[in-house]
Amino acid sequence: MMSPADLADELFTSAMLDELRTIVSLHETVIAELDDHGRGALRDAELVIGGWGAPRISPADAPVLRSIVYLGGVAATCLEDIAEWSRLGLTAANARSINAAPVAEYALAMILLDGKDAFAAIRAQSRGGVLASKQIAHFGNFRRTVGIVGLSQTARALIALLRPFELDVVVYSPELTPALADELGVRMRTLEEVMTEGDIVSLHQPLTPATRGQIDRGLLSLMRDGTTLLNTARGAVVDQDALADRLRDGSIRAILDVTDPEPLDDGHELRSLPNVVLTPHIAGSLGSELHRMGQNAVEEVRRFVAGAPFRHPEVLM
């Protein structure tokens, strides 16, 4: 189940589909909507493989369903009446940690490029000039401080990717304890300290009522001149007007893969500021990276058939 139906062709290679056919009796039509055909296919389904845009199904739609393997962050997004599904013992797996990998890779790349002031150098070259070495002398990645806000799957993946580099990593999260900080090899800080100490601050908190606009004018004012805000979380965790005000004088920089709204209006100021790098929400799985999610789904289906617990389970609640 996913919509549009041809999304399945992006997630699964033909070899993966052949592998699935050796494991289960695979329905050959992708269910993109709950029409008569879709409901008919679900009547006898014990396992559903779901993806983005999947229709929401109730226990009445799939009376013998035992499990759902979801190729996105939250399997519950395609389920109606979660409480009843939970009572019936439906098990679920999602690909949140799988999709965290390319986001963490994007963040790592941006952190290292920003440390070399690569984006300013690109702009200078495009204008026919170059940055003099003295203009970038205070940059570089040796013992640079990377601030991380949040301890999501992506944040943890990023922390692991940062380990080979001689960087100082400071982290704020309500989940972080001294013992966990030692285990991860990071230094525990308050949110204010992360904003103050970070040469680049990478955002990885979920969007909740508590985090909407969390990176506000006061926190942005704590960032030292010459530092960078990197956002691959959600645009709305930042007070975007306050960010534009801080960016306007060129004292800090921003790398934004997410904005609020998304995309920004054509004339939005963040599109034209020279100290802003905008990418169109490309950090998550794209192209061949989608096959990583498809392969994970195949492996979870194997576990289901073998009666083994999912590698990436989701608690339905």
Is residue 115 within 8 A of residue 144, CB to CB? The reply is: yes
144 annotated active-site: no
How much of the chain is in helix, strand and coil states, percent to nearest 5?
40, 15, 45
H or E stretch at 220: helix 217-221
| Distance separating the N- and C-terminal Cα atoms of the chain | 21
Rounded Cα–Cα distance for residues 177 and 170 (Å): 13
Strands 67-70 and 91-93: what pairing?
parallel
Catalytic residue among 37, 262, 271, 311: 262
262 annotated active-site: yes
268 annotated active-site: no
Place of tokens 């559903």: 48
Catalytic residue among 39, 123, 281, 292: 281
Catalytic residue among 234, 246, 253, 312: 234
Q: Report the candidate in 88, 57, 52 with the shortest Cα–Cα distance to residue 70.
A: 52
Q: What is the four-CA torsion angle of 131, 257, 202, 253, rounded to 10 degrees?
A: 30
Which residues form the catalytic set?
234, 262, 281
